Amino acid sequence: MIEDRIFVGGQWRQGRGAQTASLFPADQSINVQLHVADLSDVDDAVQAGERAWRNPAWRESLPHQRATVLYRVAALIEARREDLARLQTRDNGKPLAETRALVDSAAGTARYFAAVCETLEGELPTPRSRDFTAFSTYEPIGVIAAITPWNSPIASEMQKIAPALAAGNAVVVKPADATPMAALALARLYEEAGLPAGLLSVLPGRGSVVGEAMVRHPLVRKISFTGGTNTGRHLAHIAADKLIPTSLELGGKSPTIVLDDADLEHAVRGVAYGIFSSAGQACVAGSRLLVHRSLYDAFMNRLQDVVRGLRIGHPEQDGVHMGPLISRAHRESVANYVASALEEGGRIRCGGAVPADPALELGNYYLPTVIEGLSPQARACREEIFGPVLVAMPFDDEASLIAEANDSVYGLAAGIWTGDYRRALNLAARLEAGTIWINTYKKFSISTPFGGFKESGLGREKGRQGVLAYMQQKSIYLGMETAPMRWSR
């Protein structure tokens, strides 16, 4: 699968840090024993990145030459689709159907940013005056520290690597502690596709050691982070001290709203998918359900039936809806949230336990759980659980609905289910979230910008603008006067 090697400045070598085991969340078997990076690996990777992006052979290469590498990577990913999907399933326990979709997304991202790279243009921001004319170009920033979480490794890593390279930077990636394998596999493909040595490094290791050293390194000129809000806030402080840009894709507690005119079956299926796919381990998971009171009982009865019918099982088996959670510690954290909800007056509609099936005993499984009867102030309604737990509440009118939906420090996403798009768009305009799905949920396109309001993040990824997040603008003035300047005369 993956050897005990990390990718430092174009070289495959054993990491100089401690040896750690990456475990398969379905049975705790060992995927790989990996020596992770240490501080000297970080320095070597960043120094190599600095040399590589400044190298005129790359810096002055034409956009289509840079794009060619990304197109080749996309083709290589497609050729190894099944292997890469299986690798990720071993890494984070997601069912194969989901990891195949992540692989497809990574290939699409590489291809999209290749096309953006080829078609990127500068600007003529000022009209020509008698004295001067001016234009602006976009230039790379330098070495980018890219730090990713464990829930969608290959997709989130590609979402940073592809635009950063297309923009002409070098990238040092630190994958999540639990999921080092996809990023290392990606590095092999970039190497095979002909990416010059040093432009990409992959440094598995602890966030507080390797990640921290990366972002603090004086030659790192931008932080691109996806992960939890507290980590993001910490990195934003470091970025502020260094005065470097940072983009942060953080957590969420997204409301999913069912209006009284919604198609009930459509909404029930969409709500179940929005929270329970990926076993709820999705930043955009629709984890707060708000249903109009006139529909509430019928909706909850049907939702309960659908959730009880979900298949929890080994992620390598076909037809499984939910695999295990990433780790035992994470399952415990999810169970603690459920316990706190019970203490705060919640009633469990379904789930709320580890599955009884002895075949699942070794994995970190947790049943899809629906809780009702909570006040919006309860911990389970306010904090990101990042697991298969849905809290449900009825609402009476749109004014109270908006107040409740927006009553969160987060603002990543929201869902609306209704038969009336005019109503939906009016509601969407008042919801504080970076992405709003109407009569659908968790659909993504690489050409559509993505990011959070409030504590869900800073900046946007994806879309044509996504590449500009890895560039800085330089404006150039050309004097048009034929006589010497009048001022000192």
Q: For ligand NAD, which residue of 41, 91, 98, 177 counts as binding (CB under 6 A)?
A: 177
User: In whole angstroms, what is the distance from residue 275 CA to residue 321 CA?
Assistant: 12
Reply yes or no on whether 249 is catalytic. yes
- What separation, in Å, do the N-terminal and C-terminal C-alpha atoms of the chain show? 75
Q: How many residues bind ligand NAD (CB under 6 A)?
A: 29
**Least distance from ligand NAD to the Cβ atom of residue 329, Å:** 10
Question: CB-wise, 159 or 418, nearer to ligand NAD?
Answer: 159
Handedness of CA 229, 231, 234, 238 (dihedral sign): negative
**Residue placing its CB nearer to ligand NAD in the complex, 42 or 427:** 42
The one-character DSSP state at 207 is I
Q: Which is the catalytic residue, given 249, 372, 432, 455?
A: 249
Torsion sign, CA atoms 43, 49, 50, 52: positive
E strands present in 369-433: 369-372, 389-395, 410-411, 413-417
* Structural element, H or E, at residue 88: helix 81-92
Check binding of 227 to ligand NAD (CB under 6 A): yes
Q: Which of 9, 10, 25, 149 binds ligand NAD (CB under 6 A)?
A: 149
Contact status: 386 vs ligand NAD (CB under 6 A): yes
- The binder of ligand NAD chosen from 102, 172, 182, 283 (CB under 6 A): 283
Helix H or strand E segment including 379: helix 379-382
Residue 226 binding ligand NAD, by CB under 6 A: yes
Helix (H), strand (E) counts: the chain = 16, 21
* 307 near ligand NAD, judged by CB under 6 A: no
Complex with ligand NAD: residue 147 or 167, whichever CB lies closer: 147
What gap in Å lies between CA 392 and CA 188, rounded to an integer? 45
Judged by CB under 6 A, the residue of 160, 174, 217, 321 near ligand NAD is 174
Among residue numbers 441 through 470, which ones bind ligand NAD (CB under 6 A)? Answer: 452, 457
By CB under 6 A, tell whether 22 contacts ligand NAD: no
Stretch 388-417 residues interacting with ligand NAD (CB under 6 A): 412
Q: Does 204 bind ligand NAD (CB under 6 A)?
A: no
Q: Do 359 and 27 meet the contact criterion of CB atoms below 8 Å apart?
A: no
Distance CA 275, CA 251 (A): 14
- Kindly list the catalytic residues: 249
Which residues make up the interface to ligand NAD (CB under 6 A)? 147-151, 174, 176-177, 207-208, 211-212, 215, 226-228, 231, 234-235, 249-252, 283, 384, 386, 412, 452, 457
